[in-house]
Structure formats: C-alpha cells, structure tokens
Chains A and B, each alone.
Chain A
Amino acid sequence: MNVVNIEHLSRSYGSRVGVESVNLQVAEGEIFGFLGPNGAGKTTTIRVLLGLLRPSSGTATIFGLDCWRQSHEIKRHVGYLPGDLRLYPWFTAQSALRIVGQIRGQDLALFGSTLAERFQLDPTLAVRKMSRGMRQKLGIVLALAHQPRLVVLDEPSSGLDPLMRDELNRCLRNLVAQGHTVFFSSHSLSEVEQLCDRVAVVRAGQVVANESVDSLRDKAHRSVSMRFRDATTANSIAVPDFLRVVERTDATWHCDLLGRTPELVRWAAQQPVDDMTIAPPSLESLFRRFYQPEEESP
C-alpha cells in the first residue's frame, strides 16, 4: 500500500517553476530518500505534502487523503521536521511536549522524554539558549514523539554531529521496523545511501531518477586507473567501448568503466599495463551526473 502518492504534481511561484509534473509513490514501511541539489524542488514537494502549498496542478495524497483539503487529518499521523527549522524561543523540550501533546490529544511526555534522553537534550533548556544542533534535536524529538505513521524529514541531519546522526538513523530504522514510513529529504548522498531503501532524485523541479538504492548501485560506474609502460604507449592505445577516459596524465588513464569487470580484465591482460586499480561502484559520481544541468548530463 502506498502511503504517499503524488501524481503529475506541478507547483509554480509566479513565472518560476517549483516542481513540474512530479510522480512519486512511497510504500508503507520504507525509508524513501528524496535527493536533489539546493533549489531543485525538494522543499516545495514537501510543503505540498504538508498542506502548506496548494498544487498548481496534479494531486498529492497521504494515506489516501488529499494533502490540501484534508491536511489537518493527515497531520494526526505525520511527524514533520522542516528544512529551516524555527521553534518558539520560549519552548523547552518539556513545555513543547506538553503543549504539542495537548494539541495532538496524546500524552507525549513518556516517549518524548525517552527520545530527548537519546538525543542528549536538556528538557528544561529554552530554545533561545540552545545551539543550532540542540534546536534540530528538539525538532526531531517533536517530529517523532507521537510515533507517527509517516515521518517527513527535510534535511534532518543539518547541525547534528556524527553521533547524533547515527542516533537519528537508529531511531528511523526502529520506526520502520514497526511498520512506519520515512520520507527523508537530503542533498547528501552518503546519508541517503546509508539509510534509504529507495531514492528519487529531483533536479530543476523534475524527478530524474526513482529507483532502489541497489539498482542505482548497479548503474553506477566503477572508476578505473591504468598505468601504462610510458606516455607514448598510453597515447597509442585505442580506447575500448567499455571504457570512458576521464583524464590522462602521462602514462596513466583515469576512466569510468561502462562495461563489466571481466571484460576489462581480459582486455587489460593483452595490453602493456604496468598497474591497474578498479574502485567499487561510486554512487557519488552517478549522482553528480544527475545533478548536472540537462545539457551536460549523459
């Protein structure tokens, strides 16, 4: 069952396009990564999902409910961490949990304080006295305290130290293990790669990839470095179809492997190669290509 369903969603700000004809489905119980460079349309999509923006065209539903018209019903079961989190300066973890608990009609004190402990958050410290990382942790606690069926996180790790990032990942994995769903927006590939089952990449308001992390890994090219006997030899060798030379330095080629590894090994065995390095598939390079403007991308 799809928890999030976005069909042909477009949203523009006057003449500027926020997102255009976006189609996305997020299944129940998955951690869905939403990747893209700054200004690509990630936050616009999330704001439509949260009922803050009305779609210019297309539809967005969560749990089968319309994100604009039935937003308040959806929010009973959604935890949201905004990308640019601003909290009330007088909030403390304690008072925030009490007030949000009253609004949600749930007692958040117990689970909320457990979360606050996990994130090493002083429950009596006011937001105005908190560092940016502390505020981010409080935002995370408030997004997770009611154990929502869907958690929407917009750049959640900004301001968090590596230990807290790990703690956040553990929390999210626990939630997913209980059947909850996570919509995780980020511009950092490494955290999405670590955490997510499936990834959509958005660029200039359009989804340019929407696949499982494993399938993307299969598509990623290995980097290959080959050092030939000398520069003259290196220049005289014809580049095979399964290799793309990115850079040549003296007698060395730095390439992307477009084909399969055994093919490369067989070919290299017949060449005057002194040394060769084959790196693991790099999603980073794949995403760099996704992020590039259209005319530059493959």
Chain B
Amino acid sequence: MIAGLLRKTLRETWKPTLLFGMALFVVEALITAVLPTLQTGLNDILTTLPFIRTFIQALLGSDLGENITAQMLQSIAWVHPVVLAIVWAQEIVFCTRVPAGEIDRGTIDVLLSWPATRRRVLACEMAVGLASGAWLLAMGFAGNRLSEFASSAEAHPPTSRVFIVLVNLYCVYIAIGGLACFVSTMSDHAGRAMAVIFAIVLASFLLSFVAQFWRPAAQLLSLGILSYYKPAQILATGNVSWGDMALLATVGAILWLAACETFARRNICTV
C-alpha cells in the first residue's frame, strides 16, 4: 500500500523537484563563484557604508566583527534570498498539495476512496517531501562544491562545516514543511494555503532585518525562523548550535503530527 502511495506522490512531484534542484545547483554555483571577487575592498565599503554591514549581518544572523573573512563571506551562499526562495518555494508547493491542493482540484475523492488511512496518506507525502528536501540541498551542495573547487583554495570552508550548514538548513526545511503541511490540512484551497505560509515565512525573514534597526523587534527575534539558522557562525568558527537545530526539528515534527491529526479528523467538502 505504502509503495503505491509513494509512487503516486513521486509521479506527481518529480518534475518540479528536479527543476527546483537544478535551479538551486546553478544559483549556488554562481553565488559561490562570485563571492570571492567581492571580498577585495568589501571591508572598505563596509566602513564607508555602515548600513550594508547591517544588511549582511541581518542576512547572516550574526555579528561580522571588525573584518569580514573569506569563510564568513562564503556563508552568504547559504542565506542568499534567492537560495532561500528556491528552497522555500519548493516545499511550499510540495506541502500544500495534500490535502489543500487535492481538495482544490477535486481529486481528493479519488485519493480517499483508496483503503489507506488519512494519516498514512500524509505520512507518505511527508516521506517524499523529506526526501525531496534532501535532494534539493544535495543539489545546492553540489553546486557550491563544484564552484569552490574551481576557485582559489584559500576561500574553501571545510566540507564538514558546509555539511553542518546543510543540516541546519534541512532543519529549517523540516520546520517550514511542517508549517506548510499544517496550514494545508486546514485549508480547502492550495492558493490560500500558499499565501498564508508565504506571509508567515516572509514576516519571519523581514523580522530578522527589522530587528537590526528597531529595538522592539529585536525582542521578537526568537520567533523568526532565521534566528535558528546560523551558517556564518558555523562556517567561521565551526561552532554547531545543536539546540537550534533540535528546536527547528522538534517544531517541524510537532507541526507534521498536528497536520496528521487535523487531516484525520476534518470533513472533506469539495462542493
């Protein structure tokens, strides 16, 4: 039964997942290739235009200190808005397919006429979702490594640290995926569910920026998802914030479970 459900989900999602993966590969490769060229003179620019420092700090989620190092600069490749947009777009599209998307297009009646519990249907969706997230990040990693090997050896952060950044990003993926799935189970329209999740993610992203300029917002920073994603710190020092990752994964897991329960208990109306 599970094989059939997995097959159905894979059949529906492999094309967009492949495309998002390829896009992330290209974007990562380009950003990683361009970043070392920015380093020369960047510290001078940051001294003369201090607001740029604030923007980069907001993006990286950590203090840049006196001088920006090559490794710290490399972390931009993992927090660049285009990179985050690709990762989040993929999972928002993926996670709102069931049940919101299925109700929207009317196929839910066929899906739920099969002898599988709703929890199992959603669990299979989650399994494929998690696998596609791993594929996506693997493609980003491949793009990043490919570009780094083509550049000067000095700029290379150790692979182990990049790998930890990937694990941190995967935890963000789990948390946002859980949120997307939960919102989807409460909605009858994929578009509406996507809009809600996008608004939450965007608000979280903006919170990290606003907190740099406005003190009251800094107090809410712990509510923003990017507060728990620290690629700059990981790449620069090798310090791993396991607590942040555990928190993200736990929030994601709780939201996935809540989604399963909501889906199992809700009425399905297509009219």
Q: Which residues of A contact B (CB under 8 A)?
A: 13, 43, 47, 50-54, 72-73, 75-76, 78-80, 82, 84-88, 90, 95, 99-105, 139, 142-143
Q: Which residues of A contact B107 (CB under 8 A)?
A: 86-88
16 A-B pairs besides A53-B269, A88-B8, A103-B4 with CB distance below 8 A are: A13-B269, A43-B271, A50-B113, A52-B109, A52-B269, A72-B116, A72-B120, A82-B113, A84-B106, A84-B271, A86-B110, A102-B1, A104-B4, A104-B115, A139-B110, A142-B110
- Nearest chain A CB to B107 CB, angstrom units: 5
Docked Cα-Cα span, A80 to B115, in Å, equals: 11
Q: Beyond A88-B107, A104-B115, is A53–B267 a contact (Cβ under 8 Å)?
A: yes
Given contacts A80-B113, A100-B4, A103-B4, contact A52 B267 (CB under 8 A): yes
Q: Determine the distance from Cα of A84 to Cα of B108 in the docked complex, in whole angstroms.
A: 11
Which among A47, A73, A85, A86 is the interface contact of B115 at CB below 8 angstroms? A73
Question: Cβ of B268 and Cβ of A52 under 8 Å apart?
Answer: yes
- Residue from B1, B12, B116, B269 in contact with A88 in the complex, judged by beta carbons closer than 8 Å: B12
Is B152 interfacial (CB-CB < 8 Å)? no
A103: nearest chain-B partner, CB-CB = B4
In-complex Cβ contact of A90 among B4, B11, B106, B108 (8 A) = B11
CB-CB under 8 A from A43, the residues of chain B are 271
Give every chain B residue within 8 A of A104 (Cβ-Cβ). 1, 4, 114-115
B106 to chain A, nearest CB (A): 3
Question: In the bound complex, what is the Cα–Cα distance between A101 and B108 (angstroms)?
Answer: 18
Q: For the complex of A and B, list the 6 residue pairs with the smallest distance between their C-beta atoms, beginning with the closest.
A: A102-B4, A86-B106, A103-B4, A82-B109, A75-B115, A80-B113
Residue B5, interface by CB 8 Å: yes
CA distance A238 to B78 in the complex (A): 95
Which residue on chain A has the smallest CB distance to residue B106? A86
Q: Which of chain B's residues have a CB closer than 8 A to the CB of A80?
A: 109, 113
Option from A86, A95, A143 in Cβ contact (under 8 Å) with B105: A86
Identify 18 residue pairs between A and B in the complex whose beta-carbon atoms are under 8 Å apart, listed by A's number.
A47-B268, A47-B269, A50-B109, A52-B108, A72-B115, A72-B117, A72-B120, A80-B113, A84-B109, A86-B107, A95-B11, A99-B11, A102-B1, A102-B4, A103-B1, A103-B114, A104-B115, A143-B113
A75, B113: Cβ atoms closer than 8 Å: yes
How many residues of B sit at the interface, in one of the four size bands? 20 to 34
Verify if B241 is at the interface (C-beta below 8 Å from A): no
Q: 1/0 per residue B29-57: CB within 8 Å of A?
A: 00000000000000000000000000000
Q: Is the CB of A75 within 8 A of B114?
A: yes
Once the chains are docked, how many angstroms separate the CA of A281 from the CA of B191? 53
Which B residues lie within 8 Å of A13 (CB)? Answer: 269
Instruction: Report the separation of the CA atoms of residues A13 and B268 in the bound assembly, to the nearest whole angstrom.
Output: 12
Given the complex, which residues of B lie within 8 Å of A90, measured CB to CB?
A: 11-12
Inter-chain CA distance A80–B4, complex, in Å, is 18
Q: For residue B116, which residues in chain A have a CB less than 8 angstroms away from its CB? A: 72, 103
For the complex, what is the distance from the CA of A75 to the CA of B3, rounded to whole Å?
18
B11 proximity list for chain A (CB < 8 A)? 90, 95, 99
Across-interface contacts of B115 in A (CB, < 8 A): 72-73, 75-76, 103-104
With A52-B268, A53-B267, A88-B12 as contacts: A102 and B114 at CB distance below 8 Å = no
Asked if A101 and B4 sit within 8 Å, CB to CB, the answer is yes
The closest CB in chain A to the CB of B110 belongs to A87
The distance from the CB of A216 to the nearest CB of chain B, in whole angstroms, is 29
Q: Indicate if B270 sits at the interface (CB-CB under 8 A).
A: yes
Q: Which residues of B contact A78 (CB under 8 A)?
A: 113
Distance in Å: Cβ of A146 to nearest Cβ of chain B: 9
A66 to chain B, nearest CB (A): 14
Determine how close the nearest CB of chain A comes to the CB of B167; give it in whole angstroms.
33
